[in-house]
Each structure stands twice: as structure tokens, then as C-alpha cells.
Amino acid sequence: MPTPRLTIPVPTDFLLHRDSCSYGYFLLAPNHWHPGDRRLDRALHLPGGPALVRVRQPGPADCPLRPKPGSPLDVRSDRPLSAADRAAAVALVTRMLRLDESRDSIRAFHALDPRWRRTGEGRLCRSPSFFEDVVKTVTSCNVGWPSTVGMNRRLCEAFGEKTPSGVHTFPTPSRLARQRPAALRGRCGVGYRDARIVELAKMFARGRLGSHPVAWYEDPATPDDALREALIELPGIGPYAAANIMQLLGRYTLLPLDSESVRHGRTVLGMTGPAASIMKRVARHFEPFGEHRFRSYWFELLGFYASKRGKPWTWKRDEVGATFTAAKF
């Protein structure tokens, strides 16, 4: 029987507000975090058509905004969901919130870097699809954060599908693959990234990225070195983007070094000198964290942002989106 409601079990350490607001993508359309009632809204492509899901993790009756870790997610949709819709929604939310990342993986990270054991931080949110993660990464290159926010919002508005409540999904590869680059540039303000995004969309729509099937990139058995090499061959993907995509694929060995890494080296780690030298020293600084070094690096950055603006789950998307840039710290 179609119903607009479902429950999703989570790992015993999972906290929605902490773990869904753990990476900047939670601020990018079509994601919408509501700090007031600690709810994540997200428009999804489901077998029966687009639907908006509202994800909450209810706490006890006397304290509904303070769930116990591991409490199941309460998901409500803006339309009834068939069995196929429900199965797809569970799979997409699972990828987004990394519900399939084991507690052992989080424990291994905390064993190497105990600074995050008390808070329990370790999961990094991502997109419901590999394609969206790649496009979001491309839109984050060579621009400040407000531009990334704008590009993703306009991509959804121009080429996403509307759910019954009027929220747009993220565009599918096949939809973007059919566009002329000039349409993306004109309607979404993606600038010179236009042809690169369309080319990536065509590759995803065909099921092959460069010389490998899409599944090869998501396969945990694919060696890190081969994966990085293949990613860098893709249009719009350089060393920074490849390292970022790798962490989104659950490989935390590389650091996506950028201007923000230099800012962190200077203001938090007390490094001085030219940017290129600081980047190398930041990379060396995190080497002791081995295969979890990105998580150590990122949660250090996130802690710095939190010291300036409060915990991420208190950030309002539209306010933070307009003003949040590393250069301001």
C-alpha cells in the first residue's frame, strides 16, 4: 500500500544533525537543512517520479530534538511512495548519509586520531549519486563558496524535475547530456565549466567514464592510485577535484589541497611562507593519520568554522550560503 512515510534504521552511533551537517554539500541545493527542527529536506529521483523527502531523527517525547545515537530516521515524502520508491529512497538516503559505513571504520579513524572520539564525528555526508558528487566538485573549483551555492541552485532550477511540493531535484546525467554548453552557461552561470559538465554528463549517461565503467570508480576493490589517475583524466578534474571525489567515494588517504588548506596552515597551524610551501607542509602535517588523513584534516577545518560560526547544524543555508568564504576568516 503506497504511503508517504517510512522508517530507516541507522548505525548505533549515528546522529542525524551531526552526521548530515558534516560536509559543505549539505548547504548545496537540492539539500536543505532546517536548523530549527533539525530536519534534512531532499528532492530525490524515485522510480515513480520525483519526490521530496523530509528526514528527521526524533528524540524522546520530552526532548524531541535530542535523539539518542542510533535512533531510526523518520522519513516523510510529499507523495505516497510505492514499494519500489521506498526501496530507492532508502538506498539514496543510505548513500547520502553513509549509513553503510561500518562502526569499525569510524573506530579505526578514532583510534588513529582520538580528538574526535568524544564528539563521535567521523561520517562525512555526500550526495545520493556519484554523478552529483562529481558535478558539485566541479562547481566548487576556481570559485568562492557563494558561486558554488548559486551554480547548484540554478542547475536544479533550470534542469531538475519538480516534486509535488515544487522543489527541484538535482538534474540527471541524461538531462544535462542533452543540453548545449551555452545553455548551462546562460541559465546556470557555470562559466567555462559548461562544456566540461556536459561532457561528464554524457559519460555518466553512457555508463562509462573515460576507459572504465562508472561502477569501476565506485568499486572498493579499485586501487587508489589507479582511481586517482583515471579521475584526473576526466574533464574539469585536476589534483584537487580528484582528491575530493576520492574522499566522497570513501577513500581518505589524499588531501584536496587548495587555498583553504593554505589558510588553515597559516591561521591554525601557525605556518608561514609562500602558499606552495605551506601546501606541502600541510600535506606532511597530516601524514601520521595515514588512511584517515582527510578526515583528520576536514574535522580540524570544520572545528575551526564551528569556533567562528557555531556548530554546523545551527547554520542557516541561505545565510551561510551567501557569506561563507574561507577568505573571511
Partner DNA sequence: GGTAGACCTGGACGC
Partner DNA sequence: GCGTCCAGGTCTACC
Chain residues in the site for DNA (CB under 7 A): 141-144, 146-147, 150, 185, 189-192, 196, 232, 234-242, 258-260, 263, 322-323, 325-328
Residue (of 46, 55, 47) closest to 21 by Cα position: 55
In whole angstroms, what is the distance from residue 139 CA to residue 59 CA? 36
Residue 171, C-alpha cell as written in the block: 538534474
Closest distance to DNA from the beta carbon of 200 (Å) = 10
Residue 46, C-alpha cell as written in the block: 524515485
Closest distance to DNA from the beta carbon of 71 (Å) = 37
Angle of CA points 8, 314, 120, to nearest 5°:
55
Residue (of 39, 16, 241) closest to 133 by Cα position: 241
Complex with DNA: residue 67 or 321, whichever CB lies closer: 321
Complex with DNA: residue 209 or 326, whichever CB lies closer: 326
Residue (of 182, 141, 128, 193) closest to 158 by Cα position: 182
Residue (of 266, 307, 305, 329) closest to 27 by Cα position: 305
Closest distance to DNA from the beta carbon of 272 (Å) = 16
Closest distance to DNA from the beta carbon of 224 (Å) = 17
Complex with DNA: residue 176 or 241, whichever CB lies closer: 241
Closest distance to DNA from the beta carbon of 261 (Å) = 7
Residue (of 112, 101, 96, 92) closest to 13 by Cα position: 101
Complex with DNA: residue 141 or 283, whichever CB lies closer: 141
Closest distance to DNA from the beta carbon of 197 (Å) = 11
Residue 262, C-alpha cell as written in the block: 593554505
Complex with DNA: residue 99 or 245, whichever CB lies closer: 245
Complex with DNA: residue 72 or 239, whichever CB lies closer: 239
CB-neighbour burial class of residue 180 (10 A; exposed 0-12, middle 13-18, buried 19+):
exposed
